Amino acid sequence: MRQSTGALLRQLPYEFKRRVGHAHFPSMPVESLLGRTIAKYARRMPDADLFLYSGSALQAFCGPSRGRRFLFQYHPSPKFIEATLSEIDDLAELRAWEDEAEVSNTAMEAHHRAEVALADYFVVASSFTKNGLLELGVDERRVAVVPYGCPPVNTAPVPPPVRNEFLFVGQGVKRKGLHLLIEAWRRAELDGMRLRVVASRMDPEIADFAKDLSSVEITPRVSRQELGELMASADTFVMPSLVEGFGLVFGEALAQGCRLIGSSNTGVVDYRLDSRIGTVVPAGSLDALTRALQEAAASMDPKRPYWHDAIAAARERSWDSFRAGIVQSVSDLARPGSAVEGRDE
């Protein structure tokens, strides 16, 4: 086990700030310091294979490595994010929604492209992230999709839904599709239903956009215990992200027995859930999201028979299965005859 004290110290101010308000994670400085530590040990073992997390792999990949280079790409590139956000949002021009930090950071895009150019193989958690690599010209045969796992499932008796509740958990920004969800909720006209929004960060424009909806309750970050209780009591979890590397919160909600509504740009696609517990809507489509909310409300059952299906699906998609999938994918990608472009050593 190796650690980077510099990366820890660089991250500490962020950890304090985010407990009292929103703070941007210092991705590039932290990843650079981690990369420096990784590269130091990689240089001592030049024949070793490298399986490294995107953002902190570049320095080791640039070293005297003769082994195979696997990159775990956890999120699409900034340019792919920017292009996606500009192309598919039905409400893009309605208000001056906040921009994403990655969009204006050209250094992040350059770093991403350099890592991709040096990697031999790629493992990603979602088809959407894979599509970002394909846009850069990566051979599809060099990319494996291994969806993230779910935490241990809820073993308590089936809890009743609270006030026929839908739940959103995530940053309250356009990338997460919260503005679309607010407008879809308004149009769906779901009498007697409530939407609970838990947002650690909130775009003021989105908060103002929702202020006339008495059936929408917006709260800031909650404790881990309270979050579990909210998920266990909600009937349906919905997060219609425009851009999402995967969305770990989907697995957390599924493990608590929630039905899921997610966009085609989220990891819900790769969970391949039965229609009773998983609905995928085209990313950015207001009409499709409105229909999905209406259909979920119409099929809502106070006894929640689908709770058992959600729990079973989460159990099958555990973190152990994710780790096994990583091992299998690395083996499959590196099998003789797989597609690898030549290197300039």
Which whole-number Å values give the CA distances from 304 to 181, 207, 242, 310, in the listed order?
Answer: 23, 31, 29, 10
Q: Strand 121-124's sheet: what is its strand order? A: 50-53, 69-73, 121-124, 143-145
- Summarize pLDDT for 137-176 with one digit per residue, the tens: 999 999 999 999 999 999 988 887 776 799 999 999 999 9
Residue 315 confidence (pLDDT) above 80: yes
Beta bridge partners of 144: 123
Q: Give the tokens for residue 237.
A: 């979890």
pLDDT digits (tens, 9 = 90+) for 247-281: 999 999 999 999 999 999 999 999 999 999 999 99
How far out from the chain centre does Cα 310 lie? 19
- Confidence at residue 78, expressed as pLDDT on a 0 to 100 scale: 87
In the numeric block, which tokens belong to residue 9?
């110290």
Token output for 41: 């040990």
Instruction: Return d(Cα 82, Cα 85) in angstroms, integer.
Output: 5
CATH topology of domain 5-149+321-333: Rossmann fold (3.40.50)
> What are 123's strand-pairing partners?
72, 144
pTM (global) more than 0.85: yes
Q: How confident is the model at residue 41 (pLDDT cuts 50, 70, 90)?
A: confident
Which pLDDT band holds residue 102 (cuts at 50, 70, 90)? low
User: Any idea where the domains of the chain sit in the sequence?
Assistant: 5-149+321-333, 165-317
pLDDT tens readout for residues 29-40: 777 888 888 888
Beta strands in 108-258 (DSSP E): 121-124, 143-145, 165-169, 194-198, 216-219, 236-239
Question: Does this chain's domain 5-149+321-333 share its CATH topology with 165-317?
Answer: yes
| Kind and range of the H or E run holding 113 | helix 106-118
Average pLDDT over all residues of the chain: 89
pLDDT of residue 338: 62
pLDDT score, position 20: 60
Query: What pLDDT, on the 0 to 100 scale, is given for residue 196?
Result: 96
**165-317 belongs to which homologous superfamily?**
Glycogen Phosphorylase B; (3.40.50.2000)
pLDDT at 341 over 60: no
Nearest Cα to Cα of residue 295 among 232, 210, 235, 215: 235
51-89 pLDDT per residue, tens: 999 999 999 998 888 899 999 999 888 889 988 988 999
Quick check: 14 pLDDT over 80? Answer: no
Distance CA 181, CA 187 (A): 10
Q: Tell me, what DSSP letter sits at residue 144?
A: E
Res. 19: pLDDT tops 70: no
319 to each of 79, 106, 328, 329, how far by Cα in Å? Answer: 30, 34, 14, 15
At 30 the pLDDT is: 73
pLDDT-based confidence at residue 28 (cuts at 50, 70, 90): confident
Do 54 and 115 form a contact (C-beta atoms < 8 A)? yes
Given this model, what pLDDT does residue 1 score?
56
